Structure 1
Amino acid sequence: MVNEELALTPTSLLSLETAKSCVTISTESSISIYDIYTNQRRLLILILLSLAGIVLPFSDTVYLPALAEIEHDLHASTVLVDYTISAYLISAGLAGFLWGPLSDRFGRKIILLVTFILFLAFTIVCALARTIAVLLVFRSLQGAVICASFVVGQSAVVDIYPPEKIGFAMGLFLVPLLVGPIIGPFIGGILSSVFGWRSTFIALGIMTITATLMIFFFVPETHPHLVFQRLSRKLPKNSDDKNTKAAFNVRETDIIMKPRFIPPWRSLIFLFDMTLIPHIALCNSNFSILFLLFTVMSNRLTEKPYLLSPFSIGLCYIPTGIGSLTGSICGGWVSDWSAKRFPRAIEGRLIFNLIGSFLCPFGLLLCGWSFHFNLHLAGPLIGSTLFCFGETFMFTSTSAFATIKKPTMAGTILALISSIGFLSSGIGIIVIIPLFKILKFGYLFSILAAIIFLLICISGMVIIFQIRKSNLTTTHSNILKTTPSSHALIDQSKDIIPIQLF
């Protein structure tokens, strides 16, 4: 319904005299950018993006059971073979800074398609590699392009789900990504035992082709501004209602920005945001240790007293994958529930997830000392499973929190989180694995557990401070509302947002 009321722009408050002459549309006749998708359509897009994203963890873990075979076949040292994992992660971290801003500029779908096609080409070269040098180079290139499925996929999920549902949606998005560590080593162990390690890259190529076709045919462009343009083109231009032609109301004007490329280094400014960096540090430290744990397990389980085959090693990753899977689903649900329980501060959605993350240091201690004293295989498996549950339980809520805090730069902030995680994972493998020969498993895992415990405490203090601060701000604003002023008219019209299209 069109009427003459006070109008508020997304960036400024008009004076009362100017506001009286503005023609606007109330929010009763406006739409949400999220309402253009039905629940079924949203869920379909989410599932397809998740299934496509499984290529990333599958690629990293599918050949873990065959590391010894690759070492023998390519006449390489154990260190160089392990470097194929770290090179993959480091290049993913460096390139991840780029894909987020590029998707903010050019859209989500085109970036996903280009990167999957490039990944397929690099996978073919890896399958044909005859030297460790070729495998190292093209594993690096694989990591550089496939990280886009994680960064851009999360951005697309943020595009289609409103803030109150983003935690659960992010948890569902991460489910197939976390199934990768389950089926990757399992399938890789079977393929390596029967057909050799090169067959793992052939399977990876088939998955990539399938993912590319799914995105091309069934996933639409989700970038808010591009969707907004598509909606505006559908307006009845020959309508007699001048106001219909002059204005088109969408409530989320703060996230609908003209696509622009933000230089990757600009995202580093978020590292100086003290309300954000403690949670990113905790999240990425756990993420880095996760990849380190997978690599260490693959090597340790081939030694005494375990002496497992590639197939048996693949089976050992099933409990950790289940832990990651349940942690992601539960973490997303708990994050949204916590946000409703503590609505005054964005940090409220992190409270219970942070408590759950205490499983990470406990799991590390159990896993490390079990390996240290050569205990039964159940010890390290239970410890690693608890760690994986706690890691994804916190990761889901942190991703949701960051995108809600910086909604106009979702791709950029998620790229920053992912890039730091991949970089620290790759560097950690290079630096920490040699230390196992000096400090042994128990002592080194204890140091890592202590670091995680300290980061949890710091993150908790920031959350408590922000919640108390928001409570004080809310109390102060309630006092101001009791004083009659011109702000009353502004408050009554705060939901009226005009957007000029023509």
Structure 2
Amino acid sequence: MSKSSISEHVQPVYCALPFKRKVLIIIIVTLAGFLGPVSGNIYVPILPHLERVFSVSTSVINGTVSVFMVVFAIAPLFWASWADYGGRKTLYLIPLIIFIISNILLSSVPANIVALYILRISQAFGASSVMSVGAGTIADIIEPKHRAKAISIFMWGPQLGPVLGPILSLIPWRWSFAFLAFFGAFVYLLIMFLLPETLRYLVGNCEGYTGYFVKPKLFQEKIVEGYPKPPKPSLKVYWKLIKFKPVLLSSVNAGLLFASFYGLMVTFAHVLEDYKFSRVQVSVSYICPGISLILGSTIGGWLSDKQEKKIPEHRFSLQIIGLIISMCGIIGYAWTAYKHVHVASVFVFTFLSGFGMTWVFVSNTTYLTECSTNQPATNVAIGNFMRNLAAAICTAIINPILKKTGFGWCLTGLGFLNLVSIGFVVVLVKYGPKWRSEYK
């Protein structure tokens, strides 16, 4: 066989960018992914303090967390569908401008609860695109057999929120938002000048790029042929994906798990205050669940790629382990905190709950990028929607439930939600391949 006939059968590389360029892209989208979660977590440790600053009740100040999470859940559905259709880079640059302006205003307007609600909504709207669009960028440049490891690194951004957010909350709360404005501007410049467009429908496998710097542009024209055209964003497209059982079940699975973990997170500061922790000690204590998220993501991502074996559902077998770890952590936290056992035990169980949760999330997010290949950002956005909506609902209702059922039983109920998630995992392992083969 001639060399020319051999070359005709050689498959092009999945992504032509050199390894160092891929690493740079992952670093940039990871930094961008940090913005939304740190905006939420910079806020949670000082909720008791903000109650006094704004002269409102616990339920009212918790409501500012809920509206942030609701918007953070819904807005990516809009951003991600257009990122899958018209390009990734545009859907970084436009929302981040909104985020930067919101933080400038949060750092400067008078302390008014109505203004706080409005600006937290716009802040969430601006920061919300990155998680789903970032996952789409990863799917563009990293082939499936290595994708979970890359996504586990990308998730360091969201997971560093619980680590650095509480530390940043030690400075005056207005300066916290000023920091977010400055950091958002820095990330914006990185995206503008160093992040290439990666949507495969527009640029293929990126073989047309040379060098590290890119010419700033808001929209990318199509420069390749032969890649399937993604469907134009519409309610019909979303409804089709939401009805697609692999996307629906894996998204609900993540939502239930995140609701249980977020119930722990919004009570953590109050629990530590009962142990007579100072505000500084409370803020620093959030490093514990933050580190658990990073470790769980990293280990879970590495093992998930080991399990993939050409069939995406193979990733789910590891999720049962993570769900059991998280459930044990939440239930252990519930009763050690309620019985006022030594605070070290509270930290141990908090660590376990975060480790198990993010162990599950990395394989879940990777699976969403694989189960319908031309809409990875949209699939992840649906997963984020379920997850953040569940967190918002949990934040809104947990205080009344705590008063009615007591701390121990309330958190135990949240922990047992993981049993439902285990059921979803079993169903997906059994029927997921069949459902994906039938999807058109």
The change in CA–CA distance for 1:458 and 1:176 in structure 2 (over 3 A counts) is: closer
Paired letter, 1:110: T
Specify the SS of the correspondent of 1:32.
coil
Structure 2 gaps of 5+ residues are 211-222
2:229 aligned to which of 258, 277, 294: 258
The change in CA–CA distance for 1:465 and 1:315 in structure 2 (over 3 A counts) is: same
Paired letter, 2:190: M
How far off is 1:422 after superposition?
Answer: 1.2
User: What does residue 320 of structure 1 align with?
Assistant: 289
The change in CA–CA distance for 1:401 and 1:229 in structure 2 (over 3 A counts) is: closer
User: What does residue 373 of structure 2 align with?
Assistant: 407
1:435 aligned to which of 392, 398, 401: 401
- Is 1:367 aligned to residue 333 of structure 2? yes
The change in CA–CA distance for 1:412 and 1:461 in structure 2 (over 3 A counts) is: closer
Paired letter, 2:134: G
Paired letter, 1:75: S
How far off is 1:292 after superposition?
Answer: 2.6
1:335–1:353: 8 Å Cα contact kept in structure 2?
Answer: no
1:297 aligned to which of 243, 268, 273: 268
- Is 1:96 aligned to residue 76 of structure 2? yes
2:186 aligned to which of 210, 215, 225: 210
Cα displacement string for residues 309-332 of structure 1 (whole angstroms, at most 9, x for unaligned residues): 221111111111111001100111
2:258 aligned to which of 287, 308, 311: 287
How far off is 1:398 after superposition?
Answer: 0.9
2:28–2:195: 8 Å Cα contact kept in structure 1?
Answer: yes
How do 1:312-391 residues align onto structure 2 when only pairs under 5 Å count? 312-340=281-309, 343=310, 345-391=311-357
Specify the SS of the correspondent of 2:375.
helix
Question: Identity over the aligned pairs, expressed in percent?
Answer: 24
How do 1:143-222 residues align onto structure 2 when only pairs under 5 Å count? 143-188=124-169, 190-191=170-171, 196-222=172-198
- Is 1:416 aligned to residue 382 of structure 2? yes
Specify the SS of the correspondent of 2:342.
coil
Cα displacement string for residues 160-211 of structure 1 (whole angstroms, at most 9, x for unaligned residues): 10111111111111113211101111221x21xxxx2211111111211111
Specify the SS of the correspondent of 1:221.
coil
**CA distance, structure 1, for counterparts of residue 205 and residue 296 of structure 2:** 38
The change in CA–CA distance for 1:352 and 1:69 in structure 2 (over 3 A counts) is: closer
Cα displacement string for residues 246-299 of structure 1 (whole angstroms, at most 9, x for unaligned residues): xx999xx5xx33355322563233333334433222212112223332211123
1:69–1:197: 8 Å Cα contact kept in structure 2?
Answer: no
Specify the SS of the correspondent of 1:128.
coil
**CA distance, structure 2, for counterparts of residue 122 and residue 76 of structure 1:** 22
Specify the SS of the correspondent of 1:31.
coil
1:98–1:264: 8 Å Cα contact kept in structure 2?
Answer: no
Paired letter, 1:83: G
User: What does residue 429 of structure 2 align with?
Assistant: 463
TM-score (ref. length: structure 2):
0.89
How far off is 1:233 after superposition?
Answer: 11
**CA distance, structure 2, for counterparts of residue 110 and residue 62 of structure 1:** 27
The change in CA–CA distance for 1:158 and 1:444 in structure 2 (over 3 A counts) is: same
- Is 1:27 aligned to residue 9 of structure 2? yes
- Is 1:134 aligned to residue 115 of structure 2? yes
**CA distance, structure 2, for counterparts of residue 213 and residue 264 of structure 1:** 33
Q: How many corresponding residue pairs?
A: 421
The change in CA–CA distance for 1:275 and 1:67 in structure 2 (over 3 A counts) is: closer
TM-score (ref. length: structure 1):
0.79
Paired letter, 1:216: M
User: What does residue 243 of structure 2 align with?
Assistant: 272
Paired letter, 1:346: P
User: What does residue 108 of structure 1 align with?
Assistant: 88
The change in CA–CA distance for 1:165 and 1:134 in structure 2 (over 3 A counts) is: same
Paired letter, 2:272: L
How do 1:473-488 residues align onto structure 2 when only pairs under 5 Å count? none
- Is 1:395 aligned to residue 361 of structure 2? yes
**CA distance, structure 2, for counterparts of residue 62 and residue 438 of structure 1:** 29
1:57–1:178: 8 Å Cα contact kept in structure 2?
Answer: yes
The change in CA–CA distance for 1:464 and 1:225 in structure 2 (over 3 A counts) is: closer
User: What does residue 447 of structure 1 align with?
Assistant: 413
Computed over aligned residues only, the root mean square deviation of the Cα atoms, in angstroms, reads: 2.5
Per mean C-alpha deviation after superposition, the further-off stretch among 431-440 and 62-71 is 62-71
2:307–2:315: 8 Å Cα contact kept in structure 1?
Answer: yes
The change in CA–CA distance for 1:177 and 1:348 in structure 2 (over 3 A counts) is: same
The change in CA–CA distance for 1:412 and 1:322 in structure 2 (over 3 A counts) is: same
The change in CA–CA distance for 1:93 and 1:465 in structure 2 (over 3 A counts) is: closer
